[in-house]
C-alpha cells in the first residue's frame, strides 16, 4: 500500500478555503467588513510570502466559531460549500484523487485550514482521512482556541507522524509516498516523501521543484 497526501487550498481547490470562509462570513454580514476584510487580506499576503504567524492567524480565524451555535455554523457551511467550494473543484482534481484511491493507496488531505472548514470538503472528494488544524471544543462548542499542533509548515510533518503512529505505521515504511502541494510553505513535508509533486505552484516552490526535478502539474 502506498501513501498519498494532498494539500487542499490552491492544490485540490482552485482557491483558498480559509480565505474564502472569512470572506463568506464578511459578505453575509456575520463579520464586520471594515474590521475583518483588511485583516483577511493581510494574513493571506503573509501566507503567500512565507511570513505568516500561524498562532496570530488562528486567533483571527477561529474566533468566529466561538460566537455562534454549531447548528448555525453548519447551516452557513452548507451554503459556503454550495456557493464557494464546489465551484473551485475541477474534474482534474477529482480524477487525480480517484486515480490514487482506486489503486488502494492510503489517502489523506493534509491542510493548515481548520477541520470545521475542511472536513466537508474532504468528504466531497471521497477522502476518508483528514489531517487539519483542530479547533478546540468543549461540550460540543468551539472555544476559539487551537487543540494540539497546527498543521502548518513543520507542523504538517508532526501531525502526519502522530496520525501514522496511531495507525501503527511510519512514513518511511510505505513503498511509495506522494505529496501534492502548491506552496513553498509545504517544503518540510514535500522533502520527506518519496514523490513530491508541485501543483500549480507558487514561484518559490516552482523554482525548488525545477531545481530538484520534481514533477510540476496543473489541475486547473
Domains of the chain: 3-217 (3.40.50.1000)
Supply the pLDDT for residue 122.
98
Give CA 49 to chain center in angstroms.
17
The lowest-confidence range among 9-13, 56-60, 171-175 is: 56-60
* pLDDT band for position 60 (cuts 50, 70, 90): confident
CB atoms within 10 A of CB 38: 10
Share of the chain above pLDDT 70, in %: 100
Question: Active site residue: 2, 9, 53, 74, which one?
Answer: 9
Q: What is the mean pLDDT of residues 36-42?
A: 89
Instruction: Provide the b/e sequence for 136-159 (b: ≥16 CB within 10 Å).
Output: eeeeeebebbbeebbbbbebbbbb
Statement: residue 106 has pLDDT above 90: yes
Question: Which 8-state DSSP code applies to residue 63?
Answer: G
Instruction: Provide the b/e sequence for 59-82 (b: ≥16 CB within 10 Å).
Output: eebbebbeebeeeebeebbeebbe
Statement: residue 140 has pLDDT above 90: no
Task: Say what the pTM is.
Answer: 0.95
pLDDT digits (tens, 9 = 90+) for 154-201: 999 999 999 999 999 999 999 999 999 999 999 999 999 999 999 999
Residue 117 CB-density burial (10 A; 0-12 exposed, 13-18 middle, 19+ buried): buried
7 is an active site residue = yes
Question: Active site residue: 2, 7, 53, 200, which one?
Answer: 7
Statement: residue 118 has pLDDT above 90: yes
Amino acid at each position: 500500500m502506498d501513501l498519498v497526501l494532498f494539500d487542499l487550498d490552491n492544490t485540490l481547490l482552485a482557491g483558498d478555503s480559509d480565505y474564502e470562509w472569512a470572506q463568506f462570513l464578511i459578505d453575509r454580514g456575520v463579520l464586520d467588513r471594515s474590521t475583518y476584510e483588511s485583516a483577511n487580506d493581510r494574513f493571506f499576503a503573509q501566507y503567500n510570502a512565507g511570513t505568516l504567524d500561524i498562532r496570530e492567524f488562528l486567533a483571527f480565524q477561529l474566533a468566529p466559531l466561538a460566537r455562534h451555535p454549531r447548528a448555525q455554523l453548519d447551516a452557513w457551511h452548507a451554503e459556503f460549500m454550495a456557493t464557494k467550494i464546489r465551484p473551485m473543484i475541477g474534474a482534474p482534481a477529482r480524477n487525480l484523487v480517484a486515480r490514487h484511491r482506486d489503486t488502494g493507496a492510503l489517502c489523506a488531505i493534509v491542510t493548515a485550514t481548520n477541520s470545521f472548514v475542511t472536513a466537508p470538503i474532504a468528504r466531497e472528494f471521497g477522502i476518508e482521512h483528514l489531517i487539519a488544524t483542530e479547533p478546540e471544543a468543549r461540550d460540543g462548542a468551539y472555544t476559539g482556541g487551537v487543540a494540539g499542533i497546527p498543521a502548518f509548515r513543520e507542523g504538517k510533518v508532526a501531525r502526519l507522524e502522530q496520525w501514522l503512529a496511531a495507525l501503527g505505521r511510519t512514513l518511511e515504511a510505505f513503498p511509495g509516498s506522494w505529496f501534492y502541494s502548491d506552496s513553498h510553505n509545504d517544503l518540510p513535508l514535500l522533502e520527506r516523501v518519496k514523490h513530491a509533486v508541485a501543483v500549480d505552484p507558487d514561484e518559490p516552490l516552482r523554482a525548488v521543484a525545477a531545481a530538484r526535478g520534481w514533477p510540476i502539474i496543473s489541475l486547473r
